[in-house]
Amino acid sequence: MSRYLSLAFIGEGSTDFRFLGTLLYRACFELCLASSQTVDIKDEVTKIHPPSRVLENVVSEVKGNEREYSVVFIHRDGKSSYENALIEGIQPIREQLSLPSVAVIPIKETEAWVLADRESVMKAFSGVSDTAKLSGTPEGRALEKLPDPQKTLNDWYFLSTGRKANSKRGPTLFLEQIAGSCRLSELRKLPAYRRFETELLTTLKQMGIL
């Protein structure tokens, strides 16, 4: 017996799409390896909700294509707390959908997840996975306590390349590469990622995939 999965992703902006689109696919693919069935996952996650879109239009678009999607990932950054992002950003969308959904809530920003595998980050920036220059910088669950993960990512870019990030060059150009190469085992050191993965695992079991 085989199952087909098509994934949709309601995000907040282009930066999140670049990193999370690839990461969410990988997370789902890895969990599905444990299935007793053959699971075929559509190669590309459908990305919904550019920043200018309003909630009503986003929900309408998903509901209008419900037959095309198996699971909807709903992303909000947990700037103040996981619970606030869930209640204020995720639930209003979930309540209007009949599809299985999974909350994606990095603390405090998506960049905290980007920073999780420092070897992958440094290799993307410079071609060498040398983390010696990052000695003393936060890692693991401490990344969720960073006041500004984006600034830390920019700092790592400077330490790696000797160049300051700007609108034409910087970490943003490497997000898809990092998402494709980062070790999920490193991401699991972040409590928010573990909550996401646990919810995805539960959802796949409820769907009869696992």
Residue 35 lies in a domain: yes
Model pLDDT, residue 126: 86
Model pLDDT, residue 53: 60
pLDDT at 148 over 80: yes
pLDDT at 120 over 70: yes
User: Same domain for 58 and 134?
Assistant: no
User: Same domain for 102 and 201?
Assistant: yes
User: Same domain for 63 and 154?
Assistant: no
pLDDT at 168 over 80: no
Model pLDDT, residue 1: 75
Residue 92 lies in a domain: yes
Residue 82 lies in a domain: yes
User: Same domain for 142 and 60?
Assistant: no
Model pLDDT, residue 14: 78
Domain count, the chain: 2
169 CB contacts (<8 Å, ≥6 apart)?
163
pLDDT at 84 over 70: yes
Residue 167 lies in a domain: yes
Output the six-digit token pair for 109.
């920003």
User: Same domain for 100 and 201?
Assistant: yes
Model pLDDT, residue 65: 79
Strands 46-48, 71-75: pairing is unpaired
User: Same domain for 7 and 98?
Assistant: yes
> When comparing pLDDT for 135 and 8, which is higher?
8
CA distance 149 to 162: 19
Range of the domain at 124: 117-179
Q: 47 preceded by cis ω (within 30°)? A: no
97 CB contacts (<8 Å, ≥6 apart)?
59, 62, 63, 66, 72
Q: Which residues of 141-170 are buried (b: 16+ CB within 10 A; e: fewer)?
A: bebbebeebbebbbbbbebbeeeebeeeeb
DSSP H or E run through 103: strand 101-104
What is the rounded average pLDDT of the residues 150-173?
87
pLDDT at 102 over 80: yes
DSSP-derived secondary structure for 154-168: HHHHHHHHS----SS
Q: What is the rounded average pLDDT for all residues in the chain? A: 90
Model pLDDT, residue 62: 83
Maximum average pLDDT range among 47-61, 67-81, 183-197: 183-197
User: Same domain for 44 and 98?
Assistant: yes
Model pLDDT, residue 152: 94
CATH number of the domain where residue 15 is located: 3.40.50
Q: Which pLDDT tens digit goes with each residue over 40-65?
A: 999 989 988 755 566 677 788 888 77
Percent of the chain beyond pLDDT 90?
66
Residue 112 lies in a domain: no
Among the residue ranges 34-48, 60-74, 105-119, 182-196, the one predicted with the least confidence is 60-74
What is the rounded average pLDDT of the residues 30-39?
95
